[in-house]
Amino acid sequence: MAQIVKRADKYRFYPTPEQAGELARTFGRVRLIYNKALAERTRAYTIEGRRVSYVESSARLTEWKRSGEFDFLLEVSSVPLQQALRHLQTAFANFFAKRARYPAFKSRKKSRASAEYTRSAFRWRDGTLTLAKMDAPLAIVWSRALPEGAEPSTVTVSKDPAGRGFVSMLVEEKIEPLPPVAETVGVDAGITALATLSTGEKIVNPRRERADRRKLAKAQRSLARKQKGSANRARIRLRVARVYARIADRRRDHLHKVTTRLVRENQVIAVEGLTVRDMVKNHSLARAISDASWRELRAMLEYKARWYGRTLVAVDRWFPSSKLCSACGTLRHTMPLNVREWECACGAVHDRDVNAARNILAAGPAES
């Protein structure tokens, strides 16, 4: 049965100089309001022992606009400023529910520059998008069309560290489930291979980024030699950001292709319930784990399985998938990371990762 899902489609766009100036002002005001509201909430929480609501923060925003000290807030659309307060409210709700850490202040250099516009702050007409305070529509590169008849309910405009502009449109889309299939698969996330399947196949990480890594190292060495605050340092920092962006884009594209294929070919997908946040604390493996993007791989499998009528099963993180013989069920006491192949007393010879994937698949139904 088809289902209606909310989906964010992201596109590159190229602003005019006037639009770039308007967006830069908006990004700065959004960051300012978020930080001021966060400071107010922190003061109230630490000194007065009380929580500040969104309504109170919104009233403070009105006071700031009328105070005369922050007249420049009136230069940009009020909607992104209100949305910043809503995002802060969500951040605190997640913190108090112990789902996230305490909200952090936004940095001009390190935080992503973004602004969110709701339906009252943009005009969508004949496939063109015009934001509030702008006279002309954005020059969007339509890499793929929006669903027929779909109209965005929310638009988020952002600029990444490489200076590229993106617009993300939240739309409702009708998605048909895929035809049922008989195949099931277990997936073992790895470092030498992105994923190993219970079929014996190993899906490797993209190797094209090795050349990018060399470029990145060269650019970072050049950046370290530049004087802080100089124009040359800013130029090299942009070069470093562009290499990072290229690596991230290629990795994300690879993950989309892998997860789409797994969802199309299998009715049930069993994975390990890994806690990546704890695993990256191992400094010797942190970069390799981050490069493999296990968290993003799992997230993509979750929403694609939900959309297309598949079942994703997560096996308990403490399940001894690597130490258990998939042939006879014998459990080994230890299994060092450097052991990639081993032989069980029953005579079965195992590839460590393939054996783990088969055990994950076998344990999957018990977890569902």
Q: Exposed, middle or buried, 280 (CB in 10 Å: 0-12/13-18/19+)?
A: middle
Instruction: Name every residue whose Cβ is closer than 8 Å to that of residue 40 and which is 6 or more positions away in sequence.
Output: 52, 57, 60
71 labelled catalytic: no
CA–CA separation, 367 vs 131, rounded Å? 47
Q: For position 292, what pLDDT does the model report? A: 55
Which member of 22, 116, 209, 353 is catalytic?
353
The structure tokens listed for 320 are 């001894």
Which member of 9, 116, 209, 272 is catalytic?
272
Q: For position 306, what pLDDT does the model report? A: 94
Q: For position 288, what pLDDT does the model report? A: 53
Q: For position 293, what pLDDT does the model report? A: 78
CA–CA separation, 216 vs 11, rounded Å? 25
Which member of 188, 201, 296, 367 is catalytic?
188
Domain ranges of the chain: 3-175, 184-206+258-367
At the top level of CATH, the class of 184-206+258-367 is alpha beta
- pLDDT, tens digit, 9 for 90 and up, residues 177-196: 999 999 999 999 877 788 99
- pLDDT, tens digit, 9 for 90 and up, residues 145-182: 888 888 999 999 999 999 999 999 999 998 999 999 99
Which stretches of the chain drop beneath a pLDDT of 70? 207-209, 274-292, 366-368
**Terminal Cα distance for the chain, rounded:** 21
Q: For position 279, what pLDDT does the model report? A: 47
272 labelled catalytic: yes
Q: For position 96, what pLDDT does the model report? A: 92
Q: For position 199, what pLDDT does the model report? A: 94
